[in-house]
Chains A and B, each alone.
Chain A
Amino acid sequence: MLKTLVKPVAPNMYRYDEFDAQFVSERVNQFAGQVARRLSGELTEDQFKPLRLMNGLYLQLHAYMLRIAVPYGTLSSKQMRKLAHIARTYDKNFGHFTTRTNLQFNWIKLVDVPAILRELADVEMHCIQTSGNCVRNVTADQFAGATDEEIEDPRPLAEIIRQWSSLHPEFVFLARKFKIAVGATEKDRAALQWHDMAVQIVKNAQGRVGYKVMAGGGMGRTPYVAHVMHEFVEREDILAYLEAVLRVYNQDSRRDNIHKQRIKILINTIGPEEMRRRVAREFEELKRMGTLQLPQDELDRITAYFAPPKFETGLSDVLPDAGPDFANWAKTNVHKHRAPGYAIATITLKTPGQVPGDATAEQMDVIADLMDQFSVGEVRVTHEQNLVLPHVRKQDLPAIHAKLKELDFASPNAGLITDIIACPGLDYCDLANARSIPIAQSIAKKFEDLDRQHEIGELKIKISGCINACGHHHAGHIGILGVDKKGVEFYQLVLGGSGAEDASIGEIMGPGFGEHEIADAVERVVNVYLKARQPGERFLDTYRRLGMAPFKDAAYEKVAA
């Protein structure tokens, strides 16, 4: 029995006020009524489908899937325990953390959904806008408020954007879904440039803090990296500027072709310069009206929710010596914290052989205990399907590592070749053409040897089971796209993508590999890198220097690798 008795800690994060609580409660009651009307036949499936999607409820291959919003990836231990309870009570004892930092349950019954939503509302959670053509869950850097690299914590702005975009009357029926991310460091951990719109908190030449706004990034059938819309938007103008971008998108985007309805298509059709001109015109109009200025006292009020915890002083800033396993884990999974004596710890849900992003109810409960015991009751979900304990004392790291070993979540592989992103794929998803998870598992097992992983160094593999690219294959150093050929799964290799500050779109290598060939092909590609790399080069750097040819020759076995 892994469970320990730990006193819950309330972390510094946004708490619902009366308005929020009433809004979510009314929404639960509204959807409960819609479910009842569907079950009684008062609503047809065609009428009900858009309503359930607005509440994060999909019908997938085996059952309904419920997607729960985790705003900017921040969860309290109380919320984590509730997710464990829902997994145990209403699902098959596990949940799946997604690349949008949400959590999905795969075996939900329609009749149970009202009860689940009520349970979620009890811990200030919901599923609103986790699906449909609206502004989706706002994501942020998972190291927010903990890293010394940031200009300021991006979560207050992310929360303000969440509130502004929740049931915004103009943007409830957009042409397509719209994803926003916020970051505050030069190092991009939130894939900012791959978003429909992104805000990077920056300082101008005078040292004033403001916002760089980007738009038009996106994965899917037609991948694009975002364009800069404005290098520096003043603090009080940020909502007006974001509204201007969304308004231009809403008014000018196509609605006649599902493949051309994202903002990336609009911007790359009219050109970024014309988009900036149209946005500037709307922005001036919004500023002239003066109704969307962000008051400093409201920014201060929201920021206060995210005040840093009281860090102890006088702690040793040295990593404890706790044996080779711990040292290996610390090497990849422990990161620099803003406070001396503290660290940020990544829990990779990627032990080779595991389903990337999955956690059982028992694992969630123990992680909630770790959150309370060691990280002020808080965890972050990352877009790479991992969890992060943001504020841990270095002296506590060995105890955390020991507990994670019991959970089988202590793999020392953050950022390495076995830390693979994979969408649910054809094992669950109604849209998928091929399975993603078994491919991730077979590659992770092939590269399981830790010395080999460290020798290879940073290498991001990202796998999608269809062109919708939920597994971010366009942004993988090595991306893999599953395709269907007459009912049989094949896998295309895509090389040279990046989801970081050096964002780039991966290049398709050529014809796909069979289910049992793809892991070997990946190994041959990696072997080319190991032979050809220059000192200090990551896989991505070597690929950018050499181009596709040598990797392609090796993958298709035209040369030995």
Chain B
Amino acid sequence: MLTANRLRDGDVLYRKGDGWVPMLADGDVYKDAAAAEAALATATAELIRNQVVAPYLFEVREVGGRIQPVKEREIIRAAGPTVHPHTGKQAGQVNA
């Protein structure tokens, strides 16, 4: 998957089609490296639009029928801090 932070508020975003969505579950999962790299190249070229900052790719896997990041860092980034469950996307909050 492809992620970035929104420039104006830093909120975590995921690539979907030609745009960005706030929830990991709604983002595109690229089936192969070529598709992922192509999406990253497009997003990088779009940085000039000043919507997002620092796009990068990360690995996901399917767990119990749901897409989940492989690394703890991305699990936390997608949900919010584990120590403050009342904050972040896990609490339905978007930092916009």
Residues of A within 8 A of B (CB): 38-41, 44-45, 59-64, 92, 94, 106-111, 355, 426-428, 432, 434-435, 437-438, 441, 484, 487-489
Prevailing SS type, chain A contact patch: mixed
- Whether A438 lies near B53 (C-beta < 8 A) is no
- Whether B72 lies near A489 (C-beta < 8 A) is yes
Chain A residues with Cβ under 8 A from B12's Cβ?
61-62
Tell me, in angstroms, the Cα distance from A62 to B90 when the chains sit together. Answer: 12
The residue from B71, B83, B87 contacting A107, defined by CB atoms under 8 A apart: B87
**Nearest-CB distance from B23 to chain A (Å)?**
14
Residues of B within 8 A of A (CB): 5, 7-12, 47-50, 53-54, 70-73, 76-77, 80-84, 87-88, 93, 95
- Whether A109 lies near B8 (C-beta < 8 A) is yes
Tell me, in angstroms, the Cα distance from A41 to B51 when the chains sit together. Answer: 9
Chain A residues with Cβ under 8 A from B72's Cβ?
426, 434-435, 484, 487-489
The residue from A38, A63, A92, A438 contacting B83, defined by CB atoms under 8 A apart: A438
The residue from B54, B77, B81, B95 contacting A109, defined by CB atoms under 8 A apart: B95
List 19 A-B pairs, Cβ < 8 Å: A38-B50, A39-B7, A39-B8, A44-B47, A45-B54, A59-B5, A59-B54, A62-B80, A63-B5, A107-B95, A108-B10, A355-B83, A426-B72, A427-B82, A437-B83, A438-B82, A441-B83, A484-B72, A487-B72
Q: Which of B48, B72, B83, B95 has the most CB of A within 10 A?
A: B83
- Whether A62 lies near B88 (C-beta < 8 A) is yes
- Whether B50 lies near A39 (C-beta < 8 A) is yes
**Nearest-CB distance from B81 to chain A (Å)?**
4
Chain A residues with Cβ under 8 A from B47's Cβ?
44-45
- Whether A62 lies near B10 (C-beta < 8 A) is yes
- Whether A63 lies near B73 (C-beta < 8 A) is no
Known: A94-B84, A109-B9, A484-B71. 8 other contacts (CB 8 A): A61-B73, A62-B80, A64-B10, A111-B9, A437-B81, A437-B83, A441-B83, A489-B72
Q: Which residue of B lies closest to A435 (CB)?
A: B82
Tell me, in angstroms, the Cα distance from A325 to B93 when the chains sit together. Answer: 39
